[in-house]
Amino acid sequence: MENWKDIRSLNMEELTEEVAAVGEKRFRAKQVYGWLHQKLIRSGDEMKNVPAACREKLFESFPLYGVTEVERYVSGIDGTMKFLFALHDGNLIESVLMKYKHGNSVCISSQAGCRMGCRFCASTLPGLSRNMYPSEMLDQIYAIQRATGERVSHIVVMGTGEPFDNFEALCRMIEMISDENGLNISRRNITVSTCGIVPKIYAFADRFPQVTLAISLHAPNDTMRRELMPIANRYAMEELMEAASYYVHKTGRRITFEYSLVKDQNDHPEHAQMLAALVKGLNCHINLIPVNPVKERDYEQSGQKNIRAFLHILEKHHIQATVRREMGRDISAACGQLRKGYKERSGNG
């Protein structure tokens, strides 16, 4: 077992063992698990039918960690909500609730900070502070469900951090959120986005064939990708595309490629042609994201005309592609910007 010393990171099996280890009856584990993962309690005192002695013995070795709301922004345009949360050690992370016709989708963070170093991304600027525990990923969803009183039906792991750089915790989170003893969210409603850590793509496809995978591509060849994403120096495009193809064949599911359009870097018609050739024959969807300018970097968003032309070329090659609809435009929903902004405002950025 990983070194997760908090009660909400334990799965049912482990919790049952721990309950037995402190000399309590095994059925207590199911009760405690229900309070933690279905009733979404914030403090052990809320476990009404669990004797105080049992709670105390458990919490002595396993503290209850979670997230605490620091700030909340609500979009006047589309109801998107952004949450800035503090972890128990003061680290800040952010999560977003997006309301769609098909349900409520929560975008969660998987690490406090990030060490992948993608050039256009605000989350990575301060580096990686630490990995998050499964409980801290889960509690972002729980806290948002508590705060809004509305059921969360979809999860995207696209907030701060590289989920495949915190692989075991990510897997544990997916197992627990899709468990019938928890919120029982369908694995088909979960999407994980990676910058392309190739061996983990294989491992993930084997372990979670129902989960949608999104790969941050952002360039149609190695040279261009290396300029935007340091990870491209570790894994060549060819290896990445092989792994993508493995996912598609293993799972029978469509893969998503994210492609952030940066003015004059990767948004020319010939780049679209190259991209079309690269993904030809693969069951995929390309998500074009007009890059969100980050003030420390001088990357600019592509113009509407270039974005349309880019999309048109992909469509001509019969490649499914859409331009991502921007949610919560009025509340600066872009990756890592809330957390960074708060740190700067409070003088410790």
**How many other β-carbons are positioned within 10 Å of the β-carbon of residue 209?**
14
Stretch near ligand SAH under the rule CB under 6 A, chosen from 10-18, 52-60, 289-297, 312-320: 289-297
Stretch near ligand SAH under the rule CB under 6 A, chosen from 32-40, 71-79, 87-95, 290-298: 290-298
Q: Does 9 bind ligand SAH (CB under 6 A)?
A: no
φ/ψ (deg, to 5) at 123? -65, -30
Q: Is 94 a catalytic residue?
A: yes
Nearer to ligand SAH, 158 or 244 (CB): 158
How many CA atoms are closer than 13 Å to the CA of 1, on its beta-carbon side?
A: 14
Q: Following DSSP, what letter does each residue of 100-115 receive, concatenated? A: ETTEEEEE--SEEE-S
β-strand 128-131 against 81-86: which pairing, if any?
A: unpaired
Q: How far is the CB of 279 from ligand SAH (least distance, A)?
A: 16
Q: Does 18 bind ligand SAH (CB under 6 A)?
A: no
Q: Does 140 bind ligand SAH (CB under 6 A)?
A: no
Q: Does 306 bind ligand SAH (CB under 6 A)?
A: no
CA dist list (Å): 258 to 130, 141, 192, 289: 25, 23, 12, 7
Site for ligand SAH in 57-96 (CB under 6 A): none
Q: Does 105 bind ligand SAH (CB under 6 A)?
A: no
Q: Does 216 bind ligand SAH (CB under 6 A)?
A: yes
Q: How far is the CB of 86 from ligand SAH (least distance, A)?
A: 21
- Measured in whole angstroms, how far is the alpha carbon of residue 135 from the centre of its chain? 14
Residue from 114, 121, 284, 335 carrying the catalytic annotation: 335
Nearest to 141 by CA among 106, 165, 171, 114: 106
Order of all β-strands in the sheet with 284-290: 68-74, 81-86, 92-100, 103-107, 154-157, 190-194, 212-216, 255-261, 284-290, 320-323
Q: Is 118 a catalytic residue?
A: no
Annotated catalytic residues are 94, 335
Residues that bind ligand SAH (CB under 6 A): 118, 120-121, 158, 162, 193-195, 216, 258, 260, 289, 291-292, 294, 334-335
